[in-house]
Structure 1
Amino acid sequence: MTFAEKVKTLRTEKGWIQQELADALGVSVRTVKNYESGDSYPKNQLIYKKMAHVFSVDVNDLLHEDEEFATPEKDDAAYDDYKILRQSFNGMKKALASEKIGQRDKDILMKRVWDLYWKNKDKSDV
């Protein structure tokens, strides 16, 4: 997913219009439109940090344009499920990075996710 797609997706998930994001970041609406169209990127690291805080994501999630989940349009029936998928992934990233959660519990989490994946994959293969 590109930076532009991430910004637009995260903003719409929050239920904000472009003006609200612009106000939260201290930039113009035109700047937000340029971010969402892919015409420009933040030139200041502080904007990335503010954006990460506003959207409750890691700054690196905004900086890296790599393969992400294929997010459908908001009016698509699968949109809510993909929103849950992204939120779950972000929650797992935070949990796995936490120093307060023991490695044994992180291992249990990963095993349960893996088992759940294969259980549901088997059902869909039938």
Structure 2
Amino acid sequence: MLHNKIVVCRAEKGWTQEELAKRVGVSRQTIATLEKNKYNPSLILAFKIANVFEKPITDVFDYQEE
């Protein structure tokens, strides 16, 4: 399962879900769904999110086998 640290990274920047969504180019609802781990992003979206946070993808997303 893919887990993420979007909430933590967003808090470090002081951004709202809406601000992050605008920077990434998605809806606020997409960010909310990702933060709840109800949706796995495409690889492209995962890289976009990591780039916006200026972090390696592995600092934002973590894959763990179930």
With normalisation by structure 1, the TM-score equals 0.45
Larger relative contact order (C-alpha < 8 A, sep ≥ 6)? 2
Please identify the structure whose Cα radius of gyration is greater: 1
Q: Distance in 1 between matches of 2:61 and 2:34?
A: 13
1:57-113 Cα deviation digits (max 9, x unpaired): 1112333246xxxxxxxxxxxxxxxxxxxxxxxxxxxxxxxxxxxxxxxxxxxxxxx
Residue identity (%): 34
Instruction: Give the partner amino acid of 1:63.
Output: F
Which residue number in structure 2 is paired with residue 72 of structure 1? none
Map of 2:36 onto structure 1: 37
Query: Is the partner of 2:49 in helix, strand or coil?
Result: helix
One-letter amino acid of the counterpart of residue 7, structure 1: I
What TM-score, normalized to structure 2? 0.80
Q: Which structure 1 segments of 5+ residues have no match?
A: 67-126
Counterpart in 2 of 1:62? Answer: 60
**Could you tell me how far apart the structure 2 residues matched to 1:11 and 1:62 are?**
10
**Partner SS state of residue 41, structure 1:** coil
Cα distance between partner residues in 2 of 1:13 and 1:61:
13
Q: Which runs of 5+ in 2 are unaligned?
A: none
Structure 2 counterpart of 1:50, from 42, 48, 51:
48
> Following superposition of structure 1 onto structure 2, how do residues 1-126 of structure 1 map, counting pairs within 5 Å?
2-3=3-4, 6-43=5-42, 45-65=43-63
* Structure 1 Cα separation of the partners of residues 26 and 57 of structure 2: 18
Aligned-residue RMSD, C-alpha: 1.5
Runs of 4+ in 1 over 3 A off after TM superposition: none
Q: Which has the higher strand share?
A: 2
What is the aligned residue count?
62
